[in-house]
Structure 1
Amino acid sequence: MRFEILIYNNAEFESAIEGPDADPAIVAEWSRAHADLQTELRKSGELLDSNELSPQTAVVVRADRGTPHRVKAVDGPFSESKEWVGGFYVVDCATVDRAVEIAGRFVEARYSPVEVRQLVHPGA
């Protein structure tokens, strides 16, 4: 089964890994955790894709009567939150429990949600 793992970021996490207040221990742990996990998932054949997403270039698009237009981005993927999708993994796992186990290993999970969703059309 294929799953998309969506890694949400927030200001607390960003300040822990970037800028003048960055914690070198968290930066090292975050970098090492992703590198180690990607190596492990490549060896097992479970990693299909992964990437970090830029919040600076995010564009929200709506269609009004079939005409697409840009909408001003607001905080978070949901109006009540101050989070954004910071990256993703696409994995091919035997079970949802395995995908959840992978998601739980991200340092980001200490700061904001990491969401696991099964892909509906995995062959597409």
Structure 2
Amino acid sequence: MLYAILAYHEEDTVSAMSPDEDAALMAGMMKVHDKIDRKNRLGPAARLDKTGNAVTLRGPGEPMVIDGPFAETKEQLLGFYVLECDTLDAAVAAARDLQRVNTSAVYEIRPITLYLPGAAVQGD
């Protein structure tokens, strides 16, 4: 089963890191990535750009492109991982490893259903 691990953090906190602090954090994260990859479970992983550089497509009919996202939340979605795990518990364990390194981040683990042309939709 594929799982998304969505990484939330306070964008201002991450932006305020010095280059050395960011490099140290990423070195720790890469160790966790390597651990997950050794189990052949790590798929795409990405750090998202600042929310101020994002746009949102919104509205019925012909949607408008607007600045954003705008949400009343303390944390923003700043990155994601895609993992293949046998169980939700295995995906949670991988997220725990990530959180041990990036202690102030919040991780959401969510199953993924793929929609591929010509393939049957997976059921729950």
TM above 0.5, yes or no, is yes
* Superposed displacement of residue 120, structure 1: 2.1
Q: Does 1:69 align with 2:58?
A: no
SS for the counterpart of 2:31 is helix
CA contact (8 A) 2:55 2:69 kept: no
Look up the equivalent residue of 2:4 and give its one-letter code. Answer: E
Structure 1-normalised TM-score?
0.75
| Alignment correspondent of 1:58 | 54
Structure 2-normalised TM-score?
0.75
- Aligned pairs, number: 113
| Alignment correspondent of 1:116 | 109
Identity, in percent, stands at 24
Give the Cα–Cα distance (whole angstroms) in 2 for the partners of residues 114 and 18 of structure 1.
23
Give the Cα–Cα distance (whole angstroms) in 1 for the partners of residues 47 and 82 of structure 2.
12
Look up the equivalent residue of 1:40 and give its one-letter code. Answer: K
SS for the counterpart of 2:59 is strand
- After superposition, where does 1:1-124 map in structure 2 within 5 Å? 1-10=1-10, 11-15=12-16, 17-18=17-18, 24=21, 27-28=23-24, 30-55=25-50, 56-64=52-60, 66-75=61-70, 78-79=71-72, 81-106=73-98, 107-108=101-102, 110-121=103-114
Look up the equivalent residue of 1:95 and give its one-letter code. Answer: T
Give the Cα–Cα distance (whole angstroms) in 1 for the partners of residues 56 and 75 of structure 2.
15
**What does the per-residue CA deviation read over 1:28-59, in whole Å, with 9 as the maximum and x for residues that have no partner?**
1x222221122122221100111111024211
Look up the equivalent residue of 1:63 and give its one-letter code. Answer: G
Q: Mark the runs of 5 or more structure 2 residues left unpaired by the alignment.
A: 118-124
Give the Cα–Cα distance (whole angstroms) in 2 for the partners of residues 111 and 59 of structure 1.
26
